[in-house]
Amino acid sequence: MLGKNKVNLWILDTDCLSLLQRGNPNVMQRFRTINPQQVAITIITAEEQLRGRLEFIRRASSANELTLAYIKLRDTLKDLRSLNLLDFTQDACKFYEDLRQQKIRIGTRDLRIAATALSVDGVMVTRNNKDFSQVPNLKIEDWTIN
């Protein structure tokens, strides 16, 4: 519990979601201990995953690569449907603009993910402590560490 009568919401960044999809033992172990309703990804993470899959399809140079690319796209769509998805809301956009004005030096999409986490008072699950630790008031956990 975080505060009085408040439940944590863990928000996986794109890298952590990829580790979960690939079956990273530490991430899987931690994921299994949490109520699935308390775990989410942002729409920005969904965008990043879909961009990657579509690029893989675009670059496929053989029938085998193309077949595999579409299988990966299908699997990604299944994964995305199985998780809670946080929108990039007006509130998140306000946090994002505030962080930009503070000149936080991380990538645009990571900054949007962080802003979304701040807007719902969530815990950012990432192993990218170097970047996300620059974001004031962002709670961070690294599930790759025991």
User: pTM here?
Assistant: 0.90
Task: Find, among 87, 79, 81, the residue nearest to 120 by Cα.
Answer: 87
pLDDT of residue 146: 78
Report the chain's mean pLDDT, rounded to a whole number. 94
Gap between the Cα atoms of 61 and 40, Å rounded: 34
pLDDT of residue 74: 98
Provide mean pLDDT across the span 135-141.
97
- Given a contact cutoff of 8 angstroms between Cβ atoms, the answer to whether 124 and 132 are in contact is yes
Residue 11 within any structural domain of the chain: no
* Burial class for 46, CB neighbours closer than 10 Å (0-12, 13-18, 19+): buried
Residue 56 within any structural domain of the chain: yes
Segments forming the whole domain that contains residue 27: 21-141
Residue 7 has pLDDT above 70, yes or no: no
Residue 133 within any structural domain of the chain: yes
pLDDT of residue 6: 60
Q: What is the pLDDT of residues 67-102, one digit of tens each?
A: 999 999 999 999 999 999 999 999 999 999 999 999
Residue 4 within any structural domain of the chain: no
Residue 70 within any structural domain of the chain: yes
pLDDT of residue 33: 95
Give the pLDDT band (50/70/90) at residue 1.
very low
* Burial class for 131, CB neighbours closer than 10 Å (0-12, 13-18, 19+): middle
Domain count, the chain: 1
pLDDT of residue 2: 45
What CATH number does the domain containing 124 carry?
3.40.50.1010
Residue 53 within any structural domain of the chain: yes
Residue 57 within any structural domain of the chain: yes
Which position has the higher pLDDT, 1 or 86?
86
- Given a contact cutoff of 8 angstroms between Cβ atoms, the answer to whether 111 and 104 are in contact is yes
Residue 1 within any structural domain of the chain: no
Tokens of 138: 């962002």
